[in-house]
Amino acid sequence: MSVQYLKGVGPKRAQAFARLGVRTVADTFYLLPLRHEDRRVLRPIRDLSAGLQETVVGEVKGTAVTSTRRGFKILSVILEDGTGTLVAKWFHQPYLQQRFHPGHRVIVSGKVSWGPGFEMVNPDYEAWEDGSQTHTGCIVPVYPLADGLFQRWLRSFMKDLILARAPQVQDFLPHGILHRHALMALPEALRAIHFPEQMEDAEAGKRRLAFDDLLLLSLGVARMRRAAEGDVAGAMAGAPDIETAVRARLGFELTPAQERVLEEIKADMARPRPMMRLLQGDVGSGKTAVALLAMVHAVGSGFQGAIMAPTEILAEQHYLKAQAVLEPAGIQIGLLSGGISVRERERLRQSIAAGEVQVAIGTHALLQEAVSFHRLGLIVVDEQHRFGVKQRAELAAKGSRPHTLVMTATPIPRTLAFALYGDLNVSVIEGLLPGRQPVKTELVPEGMRLQAYEFVREEVRRGGAAYVICPLVEESEEADLKAATSLAAELQKGILRDSSVGCIHGRMRTEEKRRVMDAFRNGEIQVLVATTVVEVGMDVPRATVVVVEHADRFGLTQLHQIRGRVGRSQAQAFCLLIHGRYLTEEGAARLQAMVEWADGFQLAERDLELRGPGELFGTRQAGVPDLKVAHLLRDVRLLEVAQREAFRLVEEDPDLIGHALLRDAVEQRWEGALALATVG
């Protein structure tokens, strides 16, 4: 039921609730207080201290509304409790006067100040009725607010709602679990998390709800894993002669680290069970070569493969690489990009369906599109740590169970990987490629921007090339385009007038992007101004400098990705981070971390600390349910407990037939994604 139809809400407040993420009545239970204030101690007026938050019960002696010279109305209410006098004042709310009747007792809670006597300005207040206080005299929740919602109204609303409805909420957790882990029952937990009797109760309530988050998540993952248990994938032996031909075309020997992870991947692919492997390696560590050889292994075994990249530019880049190294070995490749004609597209689809195209390359949309493969054996997903259970379910729904290799520069902690995927093997390429030096990173305050571009000019004069990255402004492509194009024009006319400056941004058509990228690759363009739209994975070894405008607006992982565009040859590379004069503490910490650490894994750990896993791993995109209360990193202990229980439950009762309430709760949280997983 929509929250709008609850007593006292209506369309206006429903909108305000929506801004807080609350749409249904059930959502309101999870509108968690920001904190609780303990207002239980009633202080005699005589013992008040100015500057402290205090609660006082007193009798109304008199009220008065006065006006300041500028016309502000001030309501003063004089309270006495036998030990002293306190004046409570409210600004701009003269109508409150009618709530205070001389002779009645009221309770007020607020910060004490010392005028000529004790005062409180805009305190929380209510009539004193022993034991039924909401805003004062008890532990009081402080809720997040949105335009159109006021603390006092919201608190009263929540109290009525929780008192009336929480007791009727059915607990979906089996008794055994509650008991084993000393968890509060759901109705009590809801009560405690909003209106606790003791401060510790709120914590206990929170722990219970966090456990729910983690258990429902783990149950979904456990069920999917269980459903996939019987899945069969092609057992692949490869074809050594084709592999040798491709290796000869690479132009370099694989490093021992690359060889090792390739062996791990091949070992998985040799088994008749679908591989699910994450290939982690810092930016520039050479993941693509490994992926291409894995492709060769699949093709050599008579299967097709698909490579999916996050952007068209990257798909194109993979296509160029594949053209150079796979085609000469007789492997048929195809690029399904937005830039090709409808007819060409149709033709490609047909040859993929017929099995003529052996390796299909495209964006992540390749999954959603109506592309059917003749015999899909391997999927490689590039630069993506958000490929999760949902995408796997989509694949499964297509009736194919290919091996899957996901490549990412962002390491996932083990427990997290397990939480999000259920089963996932991880291969890691450590260290830099031979002969590569860490990129030198420097902070450039805005006022010294010019020097950064003088440096670029010098590098270009010596034969180098540079990227200049602008941030997305307010997520608007329009503004984004303007920022990039006007900067490019400014540089071309000004300090970089002797070089050729190009520009690439999200609004360009694929054709144009391709032209600009080609020009940058072959040296016609020496300085490429780009927005973050095209930031990941670009591989132009000539580039030795990357300048980042407004570097403080980028996340740490993103900055590292951007920096990874250079340092792709033997030459020393540089990363110049231009930042504004006023940095937030967190912003400064981020930039400092960039200077200190060249290693992406260490940076990712820092980022995880600064931002938390939700943002970094986009649980939404991974297709797993939102966590309402739990925090995947902070609650890692509880996560382990929940996972154990989830896998035990599914082991004993795969369809949760004996736990109908729990099953409904899981299905609700996963919103149909689970149903998908069991199709096909």
List residues binding ligand ADP (CB under 6 A): 252, 254-255, 258, 281, 283-289, 433, 539, 541, 564, 568
- Which of ligand ADP, Mg ion, none lies near 196, with the C-beta cut-off 5 to 8 A by kind? none
Q: From CA 264, how far away is CA 284, in angstroms rounded?
A: 20
- Which of Mg ion, ligand ADP, none lies near 45, with the C-beta cut-off 5 to 8 A by kind? none
Nearest residue by C-beta to ligand ADP?
286
The tokens 């937005």 sit on which residue? 338
* Alpha-carbon torsion (334, 338, 344, 349), positive or negative: positive
Task: Closer to Mg ion by CB, 37 or 430: give it.
Answer: 430
Task: Closer to Mg ion by CB, 274 or 537: give it.
Answer: 537
Q: Write down the least CB distance from residue 216 to ligand ADP, Å.
A: 35
CA atoms within 13 A on the CB side of 425: 16
Q: Write down the least CB distance from residue 476 to ligand ADP, Å.
A: 29
Amino acid at 1: M
Concatenated DSSP letters for 291-349? HHHHHHHHHHTT-EEEEEESSHHHHHHHHHHHHHHTGGGT--EEEE-TTS-HHHHHHHH
Q: From CA 61, how far away is CA 652, in angstroms rounded?
A: 69
Q: From CA 266, how far away is CA 272, in angstroms rounded?
A: 12
Q: From CA 561, how far away is CA 566, in angstroms rounded?
A: 10
Amino acid at 436: R
Q: Write down the least CB distance from residue 413 to Mg ion, Å.
A: 22
- Which of ligand ADP, Mg ion, none lies near 281, with the C-beta cut-off 5 to 8 A by kind? ligand ADP
- Which of ligand ADP, Mg ion, none lies near 255, with the C-beta cut-off 5 to 8 A by kind? ligand ADP
Task: Closer to Mg ion by CB, 402 or 537: give it.
Answer: 537
- Which of Mg ion, ligand ADP, none lies near 433, with the C-beta cut-off 5 to 8 A by kind? ligand ADP
Task: Closer to ligand ADP by CB, 284 or 422: give it.
Answer: 284
Q: Write down the least CB distance from residue 286 to ligand ADP, Å.
A: 3
Concatenated DSSP letters for 618-629? THHHHTPPPPSS
Q: From CA 40, how far away is CA 104, in angstroms rounded?
A: 20
Task: Closer to Mg ion by CB, 334 or 537: give it.
Answer: 537
- Which of ligand ADP, Mg ion, none lies near 284, with the C-beta cut-off 5 to 8 A by kind? ligand ADP
- Which of Mg ion, ligand ADP, none lies near 286, with the C-beta cut-off 5 to 8 A by kind? ligand ADP
Q: From CA 11, how far away is CA 55, in angstroms rounded?
A: 35
Task: Closer to Mg ion by CB, 326 or 673: give it.
Answer: 326
The tokens 């809801």 sit on which residue? 190
CB-CB neighbours of 44 under 10 Å = 13
- Which of Mg ion, ligand ADP, none lies near 254, with the C-beta cut-off 5 to 8 A by kind? ligand ADP
Total count of residues recorded for the chain: 680
Residues that bind Mg ion (CB under 5 A): 537
Q: Write down the least CB distance from residue 584 to ligand ADP, Å.
A: 30
Task: Closer to ligand ADP by CB, 233 or 289: give it.
Answer: 289
- Which of Mg ion, ligand ADP, none lies near 150, with the C-beta cut-off 5 to 8 A by kind? none
CA atoms within 13 A on the CB side of 38: 7
Nearest residue by C-beta to Mg ion?
537
- Which of ligand ADP, Mg ion, none lies near 391, with the C-beta cut-off 5 to 8 A by kind? none
Taking the alpha carbons at both ends of the chain, their separation in whole angstroms is 33
Q: Write down the least CB distance from residue 608 to ligand ADP, Å.
A: 20
Task: Closer to ligand ADP by CB, 289 or 380: give it.
Answer: 289
Q: Cβ(115)–Cβ(83) under 8 Å?
A: no
Task: Closer to Mg ion by CB, 293 or 673: give it.
Answer: 293
Q: Which of 545, 561, 580, 547 is nearest to 468 (CA)?
A: 547
Strand-pair partners of 308: 362, 381
Q: Write down the least CB distance from residue 382 to Mg ion, Å.
A: 6
Q: Write down the least CB distance from residue 255 to ligand ADP, Å.
A: 5
DSSP state of 42: B
Task: Closer to ligand ADP by CB, 255 or 499: give it.
Answer: 255
